Every structure is written in structure tokens, then in C-alpha cells.
Structure 1
Amino acid sequence: MAQFDWVDFYKAFAKALLHYKGNRSALIQTIKKVYAEIEINLPTLERDNQIVDIDPFTVFGLFNKSKLKESNRVKIITAFARELAVDAAVPTSFDAVPVLNNQNATFYYWIGDRGPDDVDHLWDLFESALEYAKTPSDDKRQMDSKYFDLAINLKGNGNSKITMGLYWIAPDVFLNLDSRNTWYIYESGKLPSDVVDSLPRIEQKISADKYFEIAERLQSYLQSERSALKDFKELSFEAWTYSEQINQEERAAKVQSQRDDKGSALADEDVDTVHYWIYSPGDSAYKWDEFYKHGIMAIGWGEIGDLRVFASKEDMKKKMKETYDSSRPYTNVALATWQFANEMKPGDIVFAKKGMHQIIGRGIVKSDYIFDDSVEDEFKNIRQVDWTDKGEWPHPGQAVMKTLTDITAYTDYVEQLNDLFETEDDIDETEDDDSKFPVYTKADFLYGKEDGRDRVYMSEEDYDTLVGLVRNKKNAILQGAPGVGKTFIAKRLAYSMMGKKNPNRVMLVQFHQSYSYEDFIEGFRPVSSGGFEIKKGAFYNFCKKAQYDPEHEYFFIIDEINRGNLSKIFGELFMLIENDKRGNELHLLYSDEKFFVPKNVYIIGMMNTADRRLAMLDYALRRRFAFFDMKPGFDTEGFFEYRKKLANKKFDKLITTVENLNKVISTDDSLGEGFCIGHSYFCNLDHVSDKTLSDIVEYELIPMLKEYWFDEPPKVQEWTNNLRSAVK
């Protein structure tokens, strides 16, 4: 595969396209014919797609757009080559080809918004650029500059689109100044500072004179001995590659930050799900056969020693600079080695790659990090891996160049990689292996950790009642006002019933006014190539997972269950969720597939009873769920112990005031027990300050009272005074 074999085709395509400058109606018919033949929907090129004119750069953009599948890209190009009699081979690689944003993929505005000569100016730029690229001269450059300035100042155009279009048709002459290239040239620090300082600054719409000056100075540098890159194509490819690495690193850092800083409300702070990694076993995978044979994966940088001695990525980076080359940044390397030693876990899935276009294996991490100083080469950093698959598979798109990348956050990408393999049994077994997850019992639910944290303020009697309702009915709703601990309890209840904190057998979704059957079960969704396909929803996928694991219990948790249109969301499954209907099959609405809700699936909903804006549940749904009232836990044994531990008189006085307030709320005809103030507002305080208590009163409790008694200002004022007095 030639890396830049697209260049010859693009040049030949431009030459063939130029013949249509005076016959654009024929070109429009050819475009429509191409899309009809390959059975892909024609992108929107005009209002209501009533196309009356088109420019050559927009035609190029048809197969140079973001989110266009490579298979469809090749289909479009192949069809155009046939219709336009292009005398060049269809490309096999699109490295260094910049692409348009899908939402801004025409070089002209639509009829009514564009000038009468806009499309003509684009054709003139196209023709003059080809002439200049063929035989550069001052007069041809002046002509090209004239049309460059006209085209770039058209509405909707700018530096990125115009220079991208020129680069497509003559990449050895014209420099692409899209956002990645501009960042790489001016901000990345990869080019010598004296070269960068000599370049004109980029304006919003650069003039032709400045554009040619930038291009010529960069070309002079690239052709010198100082540069490892030799032309604009290599520059563009390196800019894309390096910027992608930086973007991946920043995204990974954000994901990791969120992964490390888990909140305790959803009960997952001490468990970690399976992570997915893409990995290169040496440059061009030259160590692959050796690693596969020995059941390991390894990364280099062994000269800096055992990676566990470093306290941070910054320490690793510093050591690398001292050991190897102080002029290199080592940012990506330090991230990869840190993750390999500290973040990768047994049970994680690793995809081995060769270069950027080939997957060669998949495995399951089996050991913690190992440093083996006896290894003769630099690959002393090791983990044992059960390599379950070995072969050659085409990589979907283009892989990043880093040695090791955490790709867990990119669920579509992970799904594409998993789809390359015939079976996912090994992954399923890994995810559902309860032995690696913490034990979680009834006692853990009721009493929390040794320090009293993570405690649920519920009596043992209420817990037994709730568990009984869930097991017998299969479907239960925790209802109550905000602050009674519904969200805090939901996952902990599931874990206590499972006996393990296995998040792979629990799913949490939140209903809202726009949530639909298509989100929940299945529905038609648009695809990037055009048209629609059936996409399965959250509940469907969860039930299928439970169906193939009947020995374990699965819990589907729905937050704000009464915010959605439940009859619409559940559809024909309304009947199948009943306990005595589990296992019965019905035909689904879109796919006509037979589907059932497994008996080992439990549904736990959470319902806010204090929001007047929410509709009440209809009877059909109400009789399918058991309803458990969540009440404030101020009088539980756990909360008494919590108050005793805090030992703060103002806190005690505030709690007493709130308990008295709850008595008034519960007897109010317009409110009732479902509006009582919950204990969660006062939990998880390590120490109590006057400001903490005052903030709870002023910014949480008083606003709620104003909403409760919006038509009784005197009552609001009375209890506002009572609460404020409690914390003075």
C-alpha cells in the first residue's frame, strides 16, 4: 500500500472535472447517477437538494468529509472514476488528506444567499490553480492570487476550506492551512522557532500574498537538510498524527480524572470496570511473535528502571529526559508508561496493532505490572496476557501511533474492534467474573464502612421489606422527596442483593421528556453513509446480556422514572415486565424480532414525589410495580450515631427544627409526607461549621420552602426564621 497513492488519483480527477466547467448541468446529473448506483443518499448540496449549480471543490468534498466511512469513500471514488473516465488507480490510502466538516461541506451558499458569480469564482480558482501547479510563473500566480482572494472572501469560506481545496488538487504546490496544520506550524513547537518567527501571522481570511509567502518559506525549510519532513504531504500527515496524539492524551487525562474522582452517591467508588487498550508490540509490531509465544505484553524504556518507583508522570518524564534526550518532551511516552504500570488492571482487554492500519491480536491482561531487569533489551516492563486471538484484521479507520492508548471511553471504536473477532465469550467471562469485585452484604448496606461513611439510614426491618418487594414483584419504585436517599440507595440495594459490587450487572439510566422507545428498546437511527438502520436500545441490550447469564441477577435502575412517557417508552414490553409474564415472547415493533424480559432482571425506579410538574403514573404501570416510600432517616439508629459523632449543638438544633418542620409538612393538605425534607442534605460532613449549616439553610432548604408554599408567604417567613435561628 503506497502511503500517498491518493495524489495521482486526485490530480487525474481534477483534470477530468475541469472539462465540466462549461457544462455544470451534466456534472450535476453525473453526481446524482453516482449516488443512485452505489445506493447511498446524496448529501444536501442545495435547499431541498434542488441543485442548479455546483463548484469543483464541493465535488471533491463529496469524498473528503469527516465521519465518512472509508468503505463508502472508496465506493464514491470508484463510481466517479468510472463515470468520468479517470485514468488513475483508485487510492488505497488517504493519509494526509484533510476533510471537511459535515455541517459545512459546500464551498458556496445556497440560492438566495449567494452572489450571482460565487460559483464562477470557485471554478476560476480551480482552473487557475491547476495552471499554476502545472507550470508556475509570475503571471499565472497573479491570476491564481486574484481568484484566491475572491473565493476566500465568499460567505462561508475561509482559510481552512480554500487551502484544503487547493491542497487536494495539487498537494506538492499548495499548503493546507486547516486547523491541525495551522496549530502544528505555529503552536506545536515541532518546527524551529526561527522558521516560525519568519512566517506571516494567520488572519481570519488570509490574503493570497501572505498565503504564498507562508507556503514558499515552509517549502524552502522542508527541502533543506534541517527538516526530517520533505514536502507538504509529510507535513500534513505529521500534523494530523501529532495533534491526534495530543488530543488523545487530553481526552484520556479527562477520562482518567473522572475515573479517579468518583463520587460516592452511585456506590461505584471502589470498583473498576474493564478497560480497553490498543497496543503496539514494538515498532511495526516486530516483537509480536515473541510476546505472543511467551504470553506477555511489554513496553520499552527499561533503562529508567522499575516504573513503580515514580510518584507521578512528571517524575517519569524527568527521568526520561535525564536518561535519553533532554530536548524531547516525552509527554506521550510518560503517559503510556504510567498507565501501563499503574492504571492497567488484570481483566482489561488489549488489542495488538501493527502500524496504523492493522490489528494482529486480542488478549486479556492476567497480571499486575512486572519489572524484569534480566531482559537483555529495553522491554523490561511486562504484564502477562492471555492472547486469545492472533491473525490479521483491517483496523477500522486509522489507529493512533502511541505505543499504548486507553480507548475505553470511545465505545463505538471498541465495538468496531470487538466486531472484528468471531466471538466475545472470553470478554463476557472476564466482565462477569464476580471474584474480582468486592463483597457487598446486607450489613454493608445498613452500616457502611468502618468509619461510618457510605451508610444508608434505613432500619433493618425496612431493608428486609424492600428486598422482599423487589424479589417478589421484580419491579419496584423508590418514591419520596429529594434528600431521602433514593439515588444513594438504588445501586447499593442491587449490590446487596447480588452480594457483590459488580457494576457490569447493573445499569443506570435517567428518563426525561424526550426519552423514547427508540432509546429504550430499538429504533431507526441515521447512519453516516446515509439512510437508517435499526439501533438497539439500553434495556434491550441489558436484557440480552442477562439472558445469557441466567445464574446471576441483573438490576436495571431508572432515575426520574416519572419524567418519561412510560407507555411510549416501554411500548409492547409493558406486559412483559410483569413477574408472571417473564420469559414470554412478543414481536418487537421495528425488527419483528421475538423478545422477552428474562426472569433474572429486576427493575428499580426512582420517583420524586415533591415535584408538582411531574405527571402521576398511570394505573397500567402502577399495578406492575411495588412502591416503597422513602422517608427521612432522622430517627434511625445510624443517624443518631452520626449526630453523636459530630457532637455539634447547632447541628442538633437544626435537625430538631427540620423534624418539627416535617411534621407540619406531612399534615399540610397541599403537601403531605411525600414532601418532607430528607436527611441527605446533612450527611457526609466530616466537621460542622457555622457557614456549612448556614449554606444548607439559605441555599437548599429555604428555596424549597418557597416552592412548597408559594401561595403562603407568612408560612414561608415563619419557617425561614425558625431555620435561621437554629444555626445562629
Structure 2
Amino acid sequence: MCKILFINNCQLYFIIYISLPTLEKDNEIIDIDPFTVFGLFNKSSMKEINRKSIIKYIADEFNINAKIPTSFNSIPVLNNQNATFYNFIGYRNDSDIDDLWELFSSALDYSKNPTQANRDKVSKFFDRVINQKGNGNSKITMGLYWISPDTFLNLDSRNTWYIYEAGKIPDNIVSILPKVEEKISANKYFDIMKKISEYLKSSASNLKNFKELSFEAWRYSEEINHKEKSKKVQSQRDDKGSGLADEDVDTIHYWIYTPGEGARKWDEFYEKGIMGIGWEKIGDLNQYSTKEEMKKAMKEKINPNGSFMNDALATWQFVYEMKKGDIIFVKKGRTQIIGRGVVVSDYYFDTTLDSEFPNLRNVKWTHKGEWEHPGQAITKTLTDITPFTNYVEKLEALFSEDNDGEIFKEQEIEYPIYDRNKFLEEVYMDEEDYDTLLELVRNKKNVILQGPPGVGKTYAAKRLAYSMMGVKDQTRIMMVQFHQSYSYEDFIEGFRPSITDGGFEIKKGSFYNFCKKAADDIENEYFFIIDEINRGNISKIFGELFMLIENDKRGNSLQLLYSNEKFFVPKNIYIIGMMNTADRSLAFIDYALRRRFAFFEIKPGFKSKGFSIYTKQLNNKKLNSLIECVERLNNVIADDETLGEGFLIGHSYFCNIDEVNDKVLSNIVEYELIPLIKEYWFDEPSKVKEWADYLRSAIK
């Protein structure tokens, strides 16, 4: 014990160059307990290398011959702001540190000889120290687990969540466990340990002891955190060009990648079926929640003066944005492509497989060889090139045949099933309207969904396509958005700058490429979705294709404007456009457009069966009152000669609400509905005030 008294911030810092928490007022340590000593190297902010340094120092001081730990995964850690098990002088009782020592020694005795007498002694001091100011159930059970993990169960927040809430422990076991309060009694603690231990030893459990449970709680919580981060990132990466991908329908992304400087790791990675990036000095990348954290770690551990902006982006994308099914193009230098593959695993950290490149993903490499790069590649290690569609097409064209001259076939993907019932469950539309819409699309092949804002036109369009295909196959849907600058060159073909010789070349547009794709798969249906179709110059965008999209002209060909190529629109393509009827700037619609499209009115779905089920599940009186008020407002809007049904307020203002509260409802009223009616009745302020008051009153 006397040697421990010499450990203070100043003295130990000069030995191992690591700052430690304040252990006493003014660092004048008079006494210390053993749990706090363990806490010196078990804190949430501590880097692994520093943990090892402190442990080594303590081992040397006490001539401990046990090996220094190499991994700390799943070891529970203290909050940095509460790093001692005792209060400082003036705030603690005289016996507080002695009681911690008594708990420590009695717990060790109990771990060696679990008699009732030893248990009683542990219980006595457990109840004392857990009620000291600053201590609690999580902290004290964590300390006991540190000193004897085979005997004592750690009940920190992660383990408690895993046991009681994660759904991994059977309900019949959880239901008989005592509740975990902030300061649990020793009797309850021993009861929980007994019941969990019995379960772990039974045939019903895959885990056999407290250590395995603690590790699995850590692993599973990290997996959940990773998925949550990935979801957040996925929502940022999906765009309209990919068809507004759902959570269960990932859009394939394309990456260009260099396996080490000069591609020196390529042969090894190809042989092992992996791809890796370095940054071994900053450890497991899962520990970082943001790109900023990754960049900060790079500065701290590699170079404090480095920018690391692109490096942090690449590591973040490698962990959280890259997905299984994404395509990898392997480059060497800026002029050579040497391989292609498909990602087949999530990110993982493994220093045993490659200590220099421990951040890994498994890849099914489909090609290896040498191909001339179309242009010059960028120098970054990893880049998402998905937005550069022409570039991706040129790279894919290099691999139309494999090394033996046979066409390479991708692994078939199973897509989630989607049918009529699923559509009606998700899209708030009557069954009769759905059947009518389906018939229109089948017969006309070109349909425009028109309606006021907030009725879910875009949402319905994609799900209509899914329901017709029977599966959520993202690869057979493409979405674009028209605007005043959108042109024939974007849609069909046109001259664009060449990346190879600095001149110009004919590049194919989105609709042209989609038609070619559909023509090669004539047995399946394809859907081209156009958002804001009335915002573009339709005649200019479609050009000579205006005739070819008609139902009875499908399959006929015309010569294209730039390439003199014969082109046709295949019969298995359906075009679905969306049009906002409340946009005052778009009163005129091209008559040629009207003749070639059927127009289907999407109405507010407040009365639909699906919306009724949705609001019943939310079960909120204020929400129901607000919806009733909006329905009355819609009646007034419909009867207004200057507005009409094309300006009704849609149901989507109330969709995707996870939890209804006053703040959520107030935000809908103040920042969505009232600004909308101000625009509608910009010249009738008294009417705006009247209905603003009605809307606000509905949620009081």
C-alpha cells in the first residue's frame, strides 16, 4: 500500500508521460483504495497504449510477473468525470477508504471460498460503499468484476441493457430478476448473480460465464451502434438518382481503391480475399463516432500539423458508407486498373491478419489483370465514384469479359418481397384508387401523379413500381428530377468534354442508358421516375423521343440527333412523373405531354384505412384534433375559387412521427402549416390569422 501512495499526477507523469485524473485535492494523496488503482487504467477516454504503460509501471513497482494485457475489448470503464471510488478530504467519512479496502479483501476471500460467512462480509461492506457519495451500482459492481470476473457480475449500463432490454436473455429469466436501481442492495445483487449464473450454465445459453456475457454485451452493443451510424450515413448517401433507396434496399456504390503505396499489397489482398486500409496507429475505427474524431486521432497519434481531411473521409467511408454488394475497382498509379471485386462483409479490425493494414473488409475479387485506365485516376486511396456515372460505365466496360473471355455473372441477389397489401399498408390510398392507378400504368405506360404538396407523390411512385415488380429491386428503378436547365443532352445524349484528350465526345444520358439496360432484360419491368416533370422544357428534353414513348410506338426506332444511331424505347419500361398542382409558376402544361400521359390525382389520405391504423397506433388526442382541423381547412381550400382541390394539405405532414409530443405538433403548425396558408392567402391576412388561431387551438 505504501508504494501506491507515491502515485500522484506529478510523479507518475514524469515516469510514463501520461496525465492522470486528480486523485486528491491539490494532488496531496493521503490514502487510496484498490478499486481506484484499477480505475487508473480503466477509464473511457484512455488510449490502449496508455493503459498498457500504466499497468506496466504498476507491475514493475510490485514485481508482478503476469503478462501485460494486449486487448481491453469488453472491459468496463469508468466515466472520466467520476474516476475515484472515494470523495476527497473534507467530503468523505473517516472510514470510507477503509470500507473500500474491506470490500476488496472480502470479495477476494469470497471468490476463493464462497461460504455464507464470506458472503455476509462482502454484503456488509458492499452496502456501505455503494451508498457513499459518488458511488453507485454500476461503479461498485464494475470494480468487483475487475478483481474477480469469474465470481462477480458487472452491472454497468451496457451489461444491464444487454440483460434487461436487448432481448438476448429469455423473458422468463428477465421476469424473475430483481430491478436494477442506481444503488442496488447486496442481497439483490447476489440474487441477480445467482439467477444469471444458473441460466448461463444451462443448455439454453450459448454463453457460459460472466466474462463471455460481458464480452457479448460489448460486441452486440458495438454492432447496434455501428448499424445506427450506418443508417444515419445511408440516409445521407441515398439520392434521387438512386430512386430514394429504402433502409432494406441498398443502392450499389462504386469505389476506386489503391491497396497500399504503388498497389504493393494487391497480390496478398487478392489471395486472401480482403481489402484493407492502414491507420493502425489509431486502432479500431469503430471507436470513432464522427469523421472529426477520426481526424483528431490522426493528429494526436501521427502528426499534429497534418490536415487529414481526405484521410478521415476515406476511413469514415470505409467503415460506415461502404456496403456489402458495392463494387471495388483496384488501381495502380493513375493510369492502370488491375482488378475488380464485390464487397462481401462489414468492416472489421484484425491485427493478426495484417498488422500494417488491420482495417479490413472481405471482398470477392472477380478480376485480376492489367487494363488501361480511361483517363487519369485520382491519387486518393479510396474514393466513392458512384456520382460519376459515365466514369463508372467506362470502368465496368473494361470487365465485360473475364480473363478467360467468358462473360462474368454477378451473384444473384434476393430482394425483399413487395405486393399490393404492402403498398396499401405504406401508402395511404384506397384500394379502388390503387387498382385504377395500376390499370392506368399497365395500359398507358406513361402516367403522371399530380396533387398538392404533402400527399406523398414521390413516395407512392416508387412503391407503385415495387408493387408491380413484386420485389424491392432497386436496380430496375431510376429517378431524375427535371428543372429549367435539364436538357436533351442530359436525358438522351450530347457532346460533353472528354476526360481522355481534352476534346469533346458524345455522352449518353440517363434515359438512354436506362432504356438500353431494360432492353437487355426484356422479361422484367423497369420504371423511370421523373420528379417535378412539369418544371422542365418537355419538348426540348424528350426531343424525337416524344413519339417513341407512346404505348403503341414502343419498339419503333428513330435516328438520334447527335450519334445518328437508331434508338427505341422498350416495351418493358414504364414512365411515372410527378407534378405539384399547387405551384403557381407552372400553370401551363404542354399539350403534347398531356396526350402521351395519363394523369392520376393523388389526394390527401386522411380517410384511408392505412392512415387510420397509423393514427390509432400513435393514440394522441392533440394529433387527432389537429388532423380534424386540417380536414376542415381542406374543405375551405377546396371551395375557394382561387385555390381548389389542387391546393389541399396532404397527410404526409403527419407521417413518420415516432413519438408525438407538444413540441412536434407545435413545429408542424408553426413552421409547416401556417407558412403554407400564408402563401395560399397572401392577400387575405385576416383569413390567415383566423386559421392560424384554429390550428394553434387544436393542439392546446
SS, match of residue 685 in structure 1: coil
Match of residue 273, structure 1, among 232, 245, 251: 251
Kept in 2, the 8 Å contact 1:476–1:627? The answer is yes
TM-aligned CA distance change 1:714 to 1:599, over 3 Å: same
Match of residue 563, structure 2, among 591, 608, 620: 591
Q: Is residue 2:521 matched to residue 1:543?
A: no
2:372 corresponds in structure 1 to 393
**TM-score between the two structures when normalised by the length of structure 1:** 0.56
TM-aligned CA distance change 1:349 to 1:527, over 3 Å: closer
Residues of 2 paired with 1:539 and 1:510: CA distance? 12
Q: CA deviation at 1:343?
A: 4.4
Kept in 1, the 8 Å contact 2:339–2:366? The answer is yes
Q: How does 1:692-703 map to 2 (within 5 A)?
A: 692-703=664-675
Residues of 2 paired with 1:427 and 1:334: CA distance? 37
Match of residue 604, structure 2, among 613, 632, 644: 632
Q: CA deviation at 1:256?
A: 10
Residues of 2 paired with 1:484 and 1:505: CA distance? 24
Q: CA deviation at 1:481?
A: 0.8
Q: Deviations over 1:530-573 (max 9, x none)?
A: 66433322211211111112222211111111222222222221
- What amino acid does structure 2 have at the position aligned with 1:645? Q
Q: Is residue 2:447 matched to residue 1:460?
A: no
TM-aligned CA distance change 1:664 to 1:325, over 3 Å: closer
Residues of 2 paired with 1:327 and 1:620: CA distance? 63
Q: Deviations over 1:134-188 (max 9, x none)?
A: xxxxxxxxxxxxxxxxxxxxxxxxxxxxxxxxxxxxxxxxxxxxxxxxxxxxxxx
TM-aligned CA distance change 1:629 to 1:383, over 3 Å: same
Residues of 2 paired with 1:693 and 1:374: CA distance? 53
Kept in 2, the 8 Å contact 1:277–1:406? The answer is yes
Q: Is residue 2:681 matched to residue 1:705?
A: no
Residues of 2 paired with 1:315 and 1:715: CA distance? 51
- What amino acid does structure 2 have at the position aligned with 1:492? R
1:667 corresponds in structure 2 to 639
TM-aligned CA distance change 1:534 to 1:325, over 3 Å: closer
TM-aligned CA distance change 1:689 to 1:264, over 3 Å: farther
**TM-score between the two structures when normalised by the length of structure 2:** 0.58
Q: Deviations over 1:381-408 (max 9, x none)?
A: 4524223241253573254253x44443
2:491 corresponds in structure 1 to 520
Q: CA deviation at 1:490?
A: 1.6
Residues of 2 paired with 1:304 and 1:562: CA distance? 51
2:22 corresponds in structure 1 to none
* Structure 1, 271-280 or 370-379: larger mean CA deviation: 370-379
Q: Is residue 2:318 matched to residue 1:365?
A: no
Q: Is residue 2:267 matched to residue 1:289?
A: yes
- What amino acid does structure 2 have at the position aligned with 1:679? H
SS, match of residue 613 in structure 1: helix
Residues of 1 paired with 2:689 and 2:324: CA distance? 58
Q: CA deviation at 1:255?
A: 12
Kept in 1, the 8 Å contact 2:482–2:536? The answer is yes
TM-aligned CA distance change 1:633 to 1:415, over 3 Å: same
Residues of 1 paired with 2:407 and 2:526: CA distance? 18
2:526 corresponds in structure 1 to 554
Residues of 2 paired with 1:410 and 1:422: CA distance? 19
- What amino acid does structure 2 have at the position aligned with 1:388? H
Q: Is residue 2:469 matched to residue 1:480?
A: no
Q: Is residue 2:546 matched to residue 1:567?
A: no
- What amino acid does structure 1 have at the position aligned with 2:581? T
TM-aligned CA distance change 1:427 to 1:439, over 3 Å: farther
Residues of 2 paired with 1:525 and 1:546: CA distance? 24
Kept in 2, the 8 Å contact 1:356–1:395? The answer is no
TM-aligned CA distance change 1:670 to 1:398, over 3 Å: closer
- What amino acid does structure 1 have at the position aligned with 2:266? W
SS, match of residue 604 in structure 1: strand
1:450 corresponds in structure 2 to none
1:654 corresponds in structure 2 to 626
TM-aligned CA distance change 1:334 to 1:644, over 3 Å: same
SS, match of residue 338 in structure 2: strand
Q: Is residue 2:650 matched to residue 1:678?
A: yes
TM-aligned CA distance change 1:619 to 1:532, over 3 Å: same
1:353 corresponds in structure 2 to 331
Residues of 2 paired with 1:541 and 1:471: CA distance? 22
1:441 corresponds in structure 2 to 419
Q: Deviations over 1:665-702 (max 9, x none)?
A: 22333332222211112222233444443443344333
SS, match of residue 584 in structure 2: coil
TM-aligned CA distance change 1:592 to 1:648, over 3 Å: same
Q: Deviations over 1:646-667 (max 9, x none)?
A: 3333322222222122223223
Kept in 1, the 8 Å contact 2:254–2:384? The answer is yes
SS, match of residue 623 in structure 1: helix
TM-aligned CA distance change 1:393 to 1:611, over 3 Å: closer
Kept in 2, the 8 Å contact 1:355–1:401? The answer is no
Residues of 1 paired with 2:497 and 2:239: CA distance? 37
Q: Is residue 2:501 matched to residue 1:501?
A: no
- What amino acid does structure 2 have at the position aligned with 1:580? D
- What amino acid does structure 2 have at the position aligned with 1:489? A
Q: How does 1:61-76 map to 2 (within 5 A)?
A: none
SS, match of residue 596 in structure 2: coil
Q: How does 1:139-218 map to 2 (within 5 A)?
A: none
Residues of 1 paired with 2:659 and 2:460: CA distance? 23
Q: How does 1:22-61 map to 2 (within 5 A)?
A: none
1:606 corresponds in structure 2 to 578
Residues of 1 paired with 2:663 and 2:570: CA distance? 51
Residues of 2 paired with 1:699 and 1:303: CA distance? 47
- What amino acid does structure 2 have at the position aligned with 1:486? K
TM-aligned CA distance change 1:697 to 1:256, over 3 Å: closer
Kept in 1, the 8 Å contact 2:351–2:357? The answer is no
Q: Which runs of 5+ in 1 are unaligned?
A: 1-253, 448-454
Q: Deviations over 1:475-512 (max 9, x none)?
A: 11111111111122121222222233332221111222
1:533 corresponds in structure 2 to 505
SS, match of residue 341 in structure 2: strand
Residues of 1 paired with 2:567 and 2:649: CA distance? 42
Q: Deviations over 1:419-459 (max 9, x none)?
A: 555559999954x9442x43333333222xxxxxxx32112
1:123 corresponds in structure 2 to none
- What amino acid does structure 1 have at the position aligned with 2:329? F
Q: CA deviation at 1:635?
A: 0.9
Q: Deviations over 1:324-365 (max 9, x none)?
A: 978797957776566555544333222223344432222333
TM-aligned CA distance change 1:598 to 1:377, over 3 Å: same
* Structure 1, 565-574 or 411-420: larger mean CA deviation: 411-420
Kept in 2, the 8 Å contact 1:267–1:492? The answer is no
* Structure 1, 301-310 or 501-510: larger mean CA deviation: 301-310
Q: Which runs of 5+ in 2 are unaligned?
A: 1-228
SS, match of residue 651 in structure 1: helix
Kept in 2, the 8 Å contact 1:357–1:399? The answer is no
TM-aligned CA distance change 1:640 to 1:345, over 3 Å: closer
- What amino acid does structure 2 have at the position aligned with 1:642? Y
Q: CA deviation at 1:293?
A: 4.6
- What amino acid does structure 2 have at the position aligned with 1:511? F
2:67 corresponds in structure 1 to none
Kept in 2, the 8 Å contact 1:262–1:269? The answer is no
